[in-house]
Amino acid sequence: MQPRTLQWQFVTFVRILFAIHLIYSGGAYIFFGWVPSAFFNPASPVGRFMVELDTIGLYPLVKYLEFTLGLLALADRFTPLVAVMEFPITVMIAYLNIFVEGAIAPRHYYTGVQELAINVAVLMGYGAYYRSMLSARNAPRWLWQAPDSPSPAAEQPAGQLSIWLIFAALMAVVLAASWFLGSADRRLPPRDWLPPVLSFVAMLALQRFARPAAERGA
């Protein structure tokens, strides 16, 4: 069992606070249909924004996501992931409250800053789990590999053939989708096929120039 240090007390407090905010925000909409008063104010730019989100079905999705993330945070399950997933929503809320709606309804200054501060506090409290993501350069690691696992051995010729086959299959999918899903006057535009081609060429160039450096290091 983790010792009940000051760090544990503070992080546990902000985690539960974070969870309650999410559950309250999502649950009020899910169970009672509650929406902010700006929803019904045509003079409110944020209200019009939320109405449009509701029209395309994104507003309910956000509320169900918040409720689910709140339950996970309350149960202390996947909390670092919960904090990251909620952060873009929190930043959007803070931006709308502070910079868009603040001049109309100053109360929103408090709401936006509060949500952002709580989310950032949780991120900081679990910051060690993001440490590997803060490195300037990172070797590729599959999801099932540990971040500090040894680098895989140099690829054999069969591996080189595999990447060409993968690229060919990817291009076949891209070209087919661009042709059959695009409008008649927008079939195979450069924006569809040029980025993967340039990316593959760049990868081959990096591989070519990285080899001599690796050999010198050996």
Q: Which residue has the higher pLDDT, 201 or 182?
A: 201
Q: Residue ranges of the domains in the chain?
A: 6-131, 157-217
Task: Give the mean pLDDT of 72-92.
Answer: 97
For 142, residues 6+ apart whose C-beta sits below 8 A from its C-beta are none
Residue 53, pLDDT > 90, answer yes
Task: Give the mean pLDDT of 22-42.
Answer: 92
**Percent of the chain clearing pLDDT 70 (strictly above):** 86
- Residue 73 neighbours by CB distance under 10 Å: 26
pLDDT at residue 215 in the model: 55
Phi, psi torsion values for 76, nearest 5 degrees: 55, 50
pTM higher than 0.85: no
Residue the block writes with tokens 């661009």 = 178
Contact 48, 39 (CB under 8 A): no
Q: If we measure between CA atoms, which residue out of 23, 25, 26, 5 comes closest to residue 125?
A: 5
3-state secondary structure the chain: CCCCCHHHHHHHHHHHHHHHHHHHHHHHHHHHCCCCHHHHCCCCHHHHHHHHHHHCCHHHHHHHHHHHHHHHHHCCCCHHHHHHHHHHHHHHHHHHHHHHCCCCCCHHHHHHHHHHHHHHHHHHHCHHHHHHHHCCCCCCCCCCCCCCCCCCCCCCHHHHHHHHHHHHHHHHHHHHHHHHHCCCCCCCCHHHHHHHHHHHHHHHHHHHHHHHHHHHHC
**CA distances, 184 to each of 173, 178, 179, 191, 195 (Å):** 18, 10, 8, 16, 21
pLDDT at residue 135 in the model: 85
76: left (phi over 0), alpha (psi -120 to 50) or beta: left
Task: Give the mean pLDDT of 31-60.
Answer: 91
pLDDT in tens, 134-179: 888 888 888 888 877 766 554 455 556 799 999 999 999 999 999 9
